[in-house]
Amino acid sequence: MAKKRNQRNLKAVQAAKARKKRRNRRRRRAIVLAIEVIILLALSATAFVMAKYDKFQRVEINSDDIKINSGVKKEGYTTVALFGGDSREGELEAGTRTDTIIIVALDHKEGVIRMASIYRDTLLQQDDNTYNKANHAYFSGGPKAAINMLNKNLDLDIQDYATVDFKAMSDVVDMLGGIKIQVTDPEAKMLNKYVGETAKASKKKAHKLNGGGVYTLDGPQAVTYARLRKLEGGDYKRTERQRLVIKKLYEKGIKADIGTLNKIVDKIFPQVSTSFSLKDVLSLAASASSYKLGDSQGFPFEKTDGIIYRNAGDVVVPLGLAENVEELHKFLYPNETKTVSSTVQMISTEISNLTNVVRPANMNTEEETNTDNNSNINNNNNSNKPVITNSTSDSGKSKSNNNTTGGGTE
């Protein structure tokens, strides 16, 4: 009896060991299969991006040509420039007016994307050390000059950019099924006035709105909305609309199915000019879903306008460029040590000397500083704003910004 019992126990143990071995084999096979699937998906994604990459209007910028102020380095962040070109022919290089200038900062630690619009009429130092509107840099020297202008005036370390014309935005909106936005009565009236022009340039049909309300805007409507300027708030409010449209597109884009994304890539990539390498694109594509879209602001935070500067015309002047740059860095890079370079300090002083616009002393106290994106804080002497004419200052040089504009969307 004891012998038979021992034999039964031995068989039970052997059977248990066999079952365990089979389970381990199945588990290993499952793990191997999962790894293979992940590898295949990664390879498929890589192949997909590689297949689409040649559709970009790729502009290679030599890193030696990019200028960065001494001591400026953003650890844990990647900063890129996003330009919205006003091109009806798909030309996105020098000679293109950039209605949109957005600094995009990727915070790798917190997984947050923050955006800051640079008001296009902001008086800043250009690549050749003259002073003109911010959007003059791209017009006169293309993306490289625009990147250097941003780096020099704002203590940034931008290496790469992407430029999209407004037809591309129209196409994206339509392919994502439109974007839902609340439109005011004045916005609706102005949009209806100019949507036909946008639709014609985009080779689409124009649809007007029935007054203010919440609408799912189509492509031409969304682009026209983003470009409205001749309303209360002017260019300041326009940049807010631009950031809202980008936010809505981002929210819909990350939820889109692969088929829709494939169509968007085929349609939009040929309308994009960028310096990103294939390696950069693969890296961004792989990490896109892990980032959330954070707050956005307009720059400069404290400013005055209505000042005529030489042939540049009506410009926006920061109330202390150095102080505004410091605030910009607090917003874009909350984890970095805040310092302003000697280059920015020098430019800040020159702008004050050239325009006679001085930062009011009471703005230097924290409790009286207003950093609201929508505010338009004017110089104390707005009733007697200076008109800066062609003089011998500014290195003796004066260039037209060639940015004559017209219409409510300009």
Output the DSSP codes for 223-247: HHHHH--SSTTHHHHHHHHHHHHHH
Task: Give every residue of the chain whose pLDDT is below 50, as ranges.
Answer: 36, 38-46, 367-384, 386-407
Q: State the pLDDT at residue 81.
A: 93
User: Helices (DSSP H) in 127-184: which residue ranges?
Assistant: 136-154, 166-175
Distance, C-alpha 146 to centroid of its chain:
14
* pTM across the whole model: 0.74
**Tokens 């199945």 sit on residue:** 26
Whether the Cβ atoms of residue 331 and residue 299 lie closer than 8 Å to each other:
no
Task: Classify strands 123-125 and 313-318 as parallel, antiparallel or unpaired.
Answer: unpaired
Longest dimension (CA), the chain: 117
As a whole number of angstroms, the distance between CA 262 and CA 258 comes to 6
Q: State the pLDDT at residue 391.
A: 37
As a whole number of angstroms, the distance between CA 366 and CA 381 comes to 22
- CA distances 226 to 17, 117, 222, 238, 239, Å, are 69, 13, 6, 6, 8
As a whole number of angstroms, the distance between CA 298 and CA 204 comes to 31
Encode pLDDT of 9-48 as tens digits.
Answer: 566 656 666 666 666 555 555 555 555 454 444 444 445 5
